[in-house]
Amino acid sequence: MTTPLFSKTRMQYEMPREGITIGGYVARRLHKTSLLKPVPDFLKDDSARALAQIALYAAAASTSFGPAMYQPDSVPVGTVIETRDPETDARVTVTCEGDLRFSSHVEMDGVGALLGEETITGTTVGLRGLGMPAPTTFAFTAEQGDYRADIIGIITSELAPGFGSWKIRGFGALDMSDSAGNRGRLSLDRSGLVFISISTHDSRNIELKEKLV
């Protein structure tokens, strides 16, 4: 079961009881491609809304919310993990490029392809928990037409103490731009609330708010 996107059940999918490698966890975390389904329809008449939806997927796919089951096992550099999102059948490939550095390729029929890179730069200690900041990039290419979008920023996954166990949550910001001339920024807070602000190619300002959790 892969829905809802963030829940105890979702965490049991991303971190199954039998164990998983860090590369496998990254791949399953990317299995939120249902968020990309609206993109082709948005592209028909609202490229800015399409950009917002792609950025929303990028944020959701870059972290988890829920109980932290355990620490995934490491994987050798060069390991390639090929999977499919069971909800959409999108093809998701993750490659371990270095120590806690991963590249990804998501391909979804009827939607397009998304190339990603993520590097977990270390662990920070704060009053709210242990943070693992990860500079992240995504480059989207639509299946139809010549639309392209770029997402770049830092999403931090944070381990925080909870009742009887640790929990994981994400926060951070992503900058976005596309070939249609739209530009914007996404902010994700620890509660799973997403704010998106976009300046469109035709001088409009769009603001969206989404609750991931």
Structure tokens at 70: 């355990």
Dist CA 109 CA 152 (whole Å) = 24
Q: What is the pLDDT of residues 73-118, one digit of tens each?
A: 999 999 999 999 999 999 999 999 998 999 999 999 999 999 999 9
53 token code pair: 């939806």
Residue 3 has pLDDT above 60, yes or no: no
* Burial annotation 68-94 (CB, 10 A radius, 16+ → b, else e): bbeebeebeeebebebebeebebbbbb
Specify the amino acid at residue 79: T
| pLDDT confidence bin for 162, thresholds 50/70/90 | confident
For the purposes of burial, counting CB atoms within 10 Å of the CB of 209, is it exposed (0-12), middle (13-18) or buried (19 or more)?
exposed
pLDDT in tens, 115-151: 999 999 988 777 777 888 999 999 999 998 899 999 9
pLDDT at 2 over 80: no
Please check whether residue 145 is in contact with residue 171, taking contact to mean a CB–CB distance below 8 angstroms.
no
Helices (H), 36-176: 39-45, 47-61
Least Cα distance to 31 among 54, 51, 13 occurs for: 13
| Digit-coded pLDDT (tens) for 182-198 | 999 999 999 999 999 99
Domain limits, the chain: 8-211
